[in-house]
Structure 1
């Protein structure tokens, strides 16, 4: 299986630091970026099995970022993250291409379960493809 790498996108520097520390303590490799534009540049060079993106960001928001990632055919698991998840229609998340969503502030246990679930989903997909 691929390395358990995660790309985390959030325009809030403090949030990136917190999530970076949590994910590392959970035993995963994480790269954090501050914008969708930066994420697109990073994704052009590297693959990440799991991508977690904030929804509300200046420039390209998380919804548009997810659409663009799916358009290039990425099989990454993508989670939306927002303190305003209730403002969005859960069915829209699925239509756009998100595999799930998380609420801010992030509960460490929920984040851990979401990450484990994402990598489990990826392993299952790989086994089915064989």
Structure 2
């Protein structure tokens, strides 16, 4: 990858947005944030993001419902759900709606970074494969 991956952090909690932004920027990612699903949809429609970290509880709609909207806007975007309300039902629902990952808050930064790297590597391989086929 020549350009740093772009990550959109979607969470209504400013402290979480700020903390994740700082940590991920230090790891070399370009970070943008949104405090609501509406803001995330607008930003995703006007800019490309490799990956989105999505809080399951947002002020306007559920993070799981946002998955479908982001899939329509940017099908190749990796979508990882973050939740402070873990349940098997939510995890299954998230995966069935297109989540690429599911992590429980407070997020273990090493686990998050491993998941991000794994999915970005897969995304890059898929992009290269698509370019080779053309």
The alpha-carbon deviation at position 74 of structure 1 amounts to 2.0
The alpha-carbon deviation at position 93 of structure 1 amounts to 1.7
Q: Deviations over 1:82-115 (max 9, x none)?
A: 1112263433222101111111001111111011
Task: Give the distance between the partners of 2:86 and 2:75, measured in 1 at CA.
Answer: 24
| TM-score with structure 2 setting the length | 0.89
Aligned twin of 1:108: 109
Aligned twin of 2:34: 33
Q: 1:47 to 1:114 in 2, by over 3 A?
A: same
Q: 1:15 to 1:95 in 2, by over 3 A?
A: same
Task: Give the distance between the partners of 2:10 and 2:59, measured in 1 at CA.
Answer: 12
Structure 1 unaligned segments of length 5 or more: list them. none
Aligned twin of 1:17: 18
Q: 1:120 to 1:38 in 2, by over 3 A?
A: same
Q: Deviations over 1:35-81 (max 9, x none)?
A: 11000110111010111100011112211111111133521110000
| TM-score with structure 1 setting the length | 0.92
- State whether residues 4 and 28 of structure 2, in contact with CA within 8 Å, keep that contact through their aligned partners in structure 1: no
Structure 2 unaligned segments of length 5 or more: list them. none
Aligned twin of 1:126: 127
Structure 1 runs (4+) greater than 3 angstroms displaced: none
**How many aligned positions are there?**
130
Q: 1:29 to 1:73 in 2, by over 3 A?
A: closer
| Equivalent residues in 2 for 1:1-130, closer than 5 Å | 1=1, 2-86=3-87, 88-129=89-130, 130=132
The alpha-carbon deviation at position 119 of structure 1 amounts to 0.8
